[in-house]
């Protein structure tokens, strides 16, 4: 009996280091002054049709995706990075070709009262 085939790993498209000045945070100073945020988005989808036909219409246009993510990042402020990450994941999953999205939001200028290089929240959401 042949051994079972391992599950195929999904194709991935990543946009990393999307950066913007935004006004998210719980504290009023964060809302007033704003600070730098960075986003990494990794999408899981099947890119075989796009590759076979060399056709952008068959895959996620990552330039368009980056603009949409940037609009959310610089848009309506939220208190929590968790909320921001969910909104960004929702943008990714709005494309029916995307099976899952992993979002990492970086807040490198977070004031924690002690020195830190970065604060991140990472979520993974799948199409239900």
Q: Please say whether the beta carbons of 107 and 119 come within 8 A.
A: yes
To the nearest 10 degrees (0 to 180), the angle between helices 81-93 and 62-73 is 150
Distance (Å) of CA 12 to CA 22, 38, 66, 101: 27, 19, 15, 9
Handedness of CA 66, 68, 69, 75 (dihedral sign): positive
Among candidate residues 10, 92, 107, 110, the one labeled active-site is 107
Place of tokens 């990543």: 14
Residue 81 CA to residue 15 CA, distance in Å, equals 18
68 is catalytic: no
Catalytically active residues are 107
């Amino acid at each position: 009996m042949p051994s079972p085939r391992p599950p195929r790993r999904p194709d991935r498209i990543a946009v990393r280091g999307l950066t913007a000045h935004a006004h998210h945070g719980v504290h009023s100073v964060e809302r007033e002054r704003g600070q730098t945020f960075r986003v990494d988005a990794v999408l899981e989808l099947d890119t075989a049709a796009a590759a076979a036909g060399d056709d952008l219409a068959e895959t996620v246009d990552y330039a368009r995706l980056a603009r949409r993510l940037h609009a959310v990042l610089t848009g309506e402020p939220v208190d929590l990075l968790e909320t921001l990450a969910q909104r960004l994941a929702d943008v990714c999953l709005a494309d029916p070709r995307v099976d899952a999205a992993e979002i990492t939001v970086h807040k490198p200028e977070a004031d924690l009262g002690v020195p830190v290089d970065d604060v991140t929240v990472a979520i993974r959401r799948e199409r239900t």
